[in-house]
């Protein structure tokens, strides 16, 4: 009556008691069948090797590695490359793997990939997630083939790691070398611009304002001294001219036996020229205090002074005439007059040189004033050039440092002193097959047999309509049980079982109810 009412634990024990042989029979037969079937499967042998990842031998504080990729990523990338068709096909053809299956090359390569296992070892001590190493294993039907293929795959991994790291280091070095050359060209250009600017604005560069101010003050002092000296020289010249004018009023005629007194009228023209000369010199002094020597009015005044000076010199060099006792007479200058004239010419030359010095000082003052006025604009340009040069210099120095580091790292990789794969356990020769695991087959058969026996027992119990207890009667008829008739173990009673027994019990109970109702 399985499925017609809720079952209690005693019902399950009763079912198991009745159907135990149905559960036990598959539980005994299927493990034997599974274990026997495992002998029909070809054995597979697994060879395994352990590869550890060793860090570089030189401390990172001295030589920084250029390959900073995570080890998990490196291993995954190398795994994809090594398991490619171009890498596996030569090994497959060398050892004739899966040749007896009569499969095409693609299928054989796919089966070979499935038989290769890469298992990383994650550190249990270092919590940083480092990868200290990994296992490489390969399964084949022959133990020697499994060992040889496992060794080949391990060699591929170690060689690929060295090749990748060396290529990465060399690629980094070549890239930095190209960048360093570009940075050097840029630095040379900035250096040339800075040198050209310094040469063009020499004396006006930042930091020279103090020296320019000091020089300007010194030039102002020199100009003041020159102006005072020029004023004294002009006063001395005026005095000399006065003495010369007085000396020319008395002369000695040539050929006379003694001094002759002559009367000479004063020369108004000479006095006018001297007054004009003093006025022009005063005007020149006033103009040079406010303007440079290239100013038109300054040039015109100096031209007038030069012309007047030439005219006066010609008049002074000419013969002096006087009237003596009713007739003309020619006289020569005496030594005193000649000395005064020489002093006057020396004074003119001195004044001329002093004025040249004055003009030069004024030009220098204007130059330094222009330097101080243009200093802010030049300083801004100089700062821009200096900043560009410093940036180029810092970039070049940084690239040069990285270039040296990359070069040392490349040398380490070439000498195999950087991070590398170290084979700790070589590929072993398996002495027992990896699969099939016959104990697993037997246990699987036992589990499947138990499940099959329980399933068959449940189906049989579900289809069985026998009423074996009062709960079965109540579940089937929904009527109370009035009495129980013990089972007599006779052939007739055993033949009268099942539904007939149920109907009889049901009819007997119905009659009792009717009798009770009428009574």
The answer to whether the bond into 436 is cis (omega within 30° of 0) is: yes
Q: List all residues 6 or more positions away from 219 whose beta carbon is below 8 Å from its beta carbon.
A: 361, 364, 365, 368
The angle formed by the CA atoms of residues 303, 309 and 315, to the nearest 5 degrees, is 140
Determine the Cα–Cα distance for residues 312 and 266; give it in Å rounded to an integer: 16
> Mean pLDDT over residues 8-22, rounded?
79
Q: What is the pLDDT of residue 63?
A: 65
Q: Provide the pLDDT confidence category of residue 367 given band limits of 50, 70 and 90.
A: confident
Contact 420, 74 (CB under 8 A): no
- Which pair of structure tokens corresponds to residue 327? 């007739």
Contact 48, 427 (CB under 8 A): yes
DSSP letter (8 states) at residue 265: -
Nearest of 309, 270, 303 to residue 287 by alpha carbon: 303
Q: Provide the pLDDT confidence category of residue 57 given band limits of 50, 70 and 90.
A: low
Nearest of 496, 365, 480, 421 to residue 153 by alpha carbon: 421
Mean pLDDT of the chain: 76
Q: Provide the pLDDT confidence category of residue 316 given band limits of 50, 70 and 90.
A: low
Whose tokens are 């291993």? That residue is 75
Which of 56-70, 236-250, 490-504 reaches the highest mean pLDDT? Answer: 236-250
Determine the Cα–Cα distance for residues 62 and 417; give it in Å rounded to an integer: 13
> Mean pLDDT over residues 408-421, rounded?
70
> Mean pLDDT over residues 187-200, rounded?
86
Residue 150 has pLDDT above 90, yes or no: yes
State which H helix or E strand residue 156 sits in. Answer: helix 143-200
Q: What is the pLDDT of residue 137?
A: 92
Q: What is the pLDDT of residues 98-134, one digit of tens each?
A: 877 778 888 888 999 999 998 888 765 554 445 678 8
Residue 64 has pLDDT above 70, yes or no: no
Determine the Cα–Cα distance for residues 338 and 332; give it in Å rounded to an integer: 10
Q: What is the pLDDT of residue 329?
A: 38
Q: Provide the pLDDT confidence category of residue 170 given band limits of 50, 70 and 90.
A: confident
Which of 7-16, 419-428, 484-493 reaches the highest mean pLDDT? Answer: 419-428
Domain boundaries, the chain: 209-249+266-400, 467-519
> Mean pLDDT over residues 374-380, rounded?
81
Q: What is the pLDDT of residue 258?
A: 44
> Mean pLDDT over residues 380-405, rounded?
86
Residue 29 has pLDDT above 80, yes or no: yes
Give the alpha-carbon dihedral of 362, 368, 372, 377, to 10 degrees. 110
Region of 129 please: left (phi>0), alpha (psi -120 to 50) or beta: left
Lowest mean pLDDT: which of 48-52, 70-74, 317-321, 358-362?
A: 317-321
Contact 19, 461 (CB under 8 A): yes
Percent pLDDT > 70 in the chain is 75
Determine the Cα–Cα distance for residues 412 and 166; give it in Å rounded to an integer: 9
Query: What count of other Cβ atoms lies within 10 Å of the Cβ of residue 337?
Result: 19
> Mean pLDDT over residues 474-494, rounded?
64
Residue 251 has pLDDT above 60, yes or no: no
Contacts of 113-121 with C-beta under 8 Å, sequence gap 24+, read: 113/83, 113/88, 115/139, 115/140, 116/83, 116/153, 118/75, 118/79, 120/72, 120/75
How far is residue 55 from each of residues 118, 147, 157, 164, 420, measured CA to CA in Å?
Answer: 21, 28, 16, 15, 7
Whose tokens are 């504080």? That residue is 61
DSSP-derived secondary structure for 478-516: --------PPP--HHHHHS-THHHHHHHHHHHHHHHHHH
Written out in words, the top-level CATH class of the domain with range 209-249+266-400 is mainly alpha
Which of 51-65, 323-337, 394-408 reaches the highest mean pLDDT? Answer: 394-408
Q: What is the pLDDT of residue 313?
A: 64
Q: List all residues 6 or more positions away from 284 whose beta carbon is below 8 Å from its beta carbon.
A: 298, 301, 302, 305, 355
Residue 283 has pLDDT above 90, yes or no: no
Nearest of 211, 204, 197, 181 to residue 387 by alpha carbon: 197
Q: What is the pLDDT of residue 513?
A: 52
Lowest mean pLDDT: which of 67-81, 83-97, 249-263, 462-476?
A: 249-263
Query: What are residue 54's phi and psi, to 5 degrees?
Result: -100, 140
DSSP SS3 for 420:
strand
Which of 127-136, 204-213, 387-396 reaches the highest mean pLDDT? Answer: 387-396
Residue 374 has pLDDT above 90, yes or no: no
> Mean pLDDT over residues 184-192, rounded?
89
Q: What is the pLDDT of residue 266?
A: 47
Q: Provide the pLDDT confidence category of residue 314 given band limits of 50, 70 and 90.
A: low
> Mean pLDDT over residues 485-490, rounded?
59
Lowest mean pLDDT: which of 164-178, 181-195, 284-298?
A: 284-298
> Mean pLDDT over residues 414-442, rounded?
79
Contact 309, 315 (CB under 8 A): no
Sign of CA dihedral 488, 494, 497, 500: negative
Q: What is the pLDDT of residue 26?
A: 87
Q: Provide the pLDDT confidence category of residue 457 given band limits of 50, 70 and 90.
A: confident
């Amino acid at each position: 009556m399985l499925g017609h009412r809720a079952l209690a634990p005693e019902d399950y024990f009763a079912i198991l008691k009745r159907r135990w042989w149905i559960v036990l029979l598959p539980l005994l037969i299927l493990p034997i069948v599974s274990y026997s079937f495992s002998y029909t499967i070809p054995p597979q042998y697994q060879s395994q090797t352990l590869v550890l990842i060793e860090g570089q031998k030189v401390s990172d504080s001295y030589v920084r590695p250029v390959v900073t990729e995570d080890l998990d990523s490196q291993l995954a990338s190398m795994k994809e490359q090594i398991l490619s068709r171009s890498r596996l096909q030569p090994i497959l053809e060398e050892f004739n793997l899966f040749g007896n299956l009569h499969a095409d090359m693609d299928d054989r390569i796919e089966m070979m990939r499935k038989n290769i296992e890469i298992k990383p070892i994650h550190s249990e001590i270092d919590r940083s997630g480092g990868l200290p190493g990994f296992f490489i294993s390969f399964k084949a039907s022959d133990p020697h083939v499994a060992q040889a293929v496992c060794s080949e795959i391990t060699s591929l991994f170690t060689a690929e790691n060295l090749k990748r790291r060396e290529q990465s280091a060399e690629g980094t070095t070549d890239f930095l070398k190209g960048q360093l050359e570009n940075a050097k060209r840029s630095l040379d250009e900035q250096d040339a611009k800075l040198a050209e600017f310094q040469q063009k604005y020499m004396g006006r560069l930042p930091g020279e304002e103090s020296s320019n101010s000091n020089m300007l003050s010194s030039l102002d002092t020199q100009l003041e001294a020159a102006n005072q000296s020029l004023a004294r020289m002009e006063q001395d010249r005026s005095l000399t001219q006065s003495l010369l004018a007085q000396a020319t009023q008395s002369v000695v005629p040539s050929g006379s036996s003694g001094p002759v007194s002559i009367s000479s009228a004063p020369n108004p023209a000479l006095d006018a020229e001297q007054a004009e000369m003093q006025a022009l010199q005063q005007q020149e002094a006033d103009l040079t205090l406010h303007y440079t020597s290239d100013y038109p009015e300054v040039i015109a005044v100096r031209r007038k002074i030069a012309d007047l000076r030439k005219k006066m010199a010609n008049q002074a060099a000419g013969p002096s005439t006087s009237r003596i006792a009713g007739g003309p007479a020619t006289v020569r200058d005496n030594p005193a007059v000649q000395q005064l004239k020489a002093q006057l010419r020396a004074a003119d030359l001195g004044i001329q040189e002093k004025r040249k010095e004055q003009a030069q000082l004024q030009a220098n003052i204007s130059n330094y004033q222009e330097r101080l006025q243009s200093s802010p604009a030049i300083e801004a340009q100089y700062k821009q050039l200096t900043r560009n040069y410093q940036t180029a210099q810092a970039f070049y120095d940084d690239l040069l440092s990285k270039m040296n580091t990359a070069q040392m790292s490349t040398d380490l990789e070439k000498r195999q002193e950087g991070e590398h794969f170290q084979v700790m356990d070589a590929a072993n020769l398996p002495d027992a097959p990896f699969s099939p695991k016959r104990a697993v087959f037997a246990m699987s058969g036992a589990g499947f047999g138990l499940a099959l026996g329980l399933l068959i027992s449940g189906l049989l119990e579900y289809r069985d309509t026998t009423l074996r207890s009062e709960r079965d009667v109540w579940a089937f008829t929904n009527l109370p049980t009035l009495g129980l008739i013990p089972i007599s173990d006779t052939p007739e009673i055993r033949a009268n079982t099942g539904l007939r027994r149920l109907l009889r019990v049901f009819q007997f109970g119905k009659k009792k109810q009717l009798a009770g109702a009428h009574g």
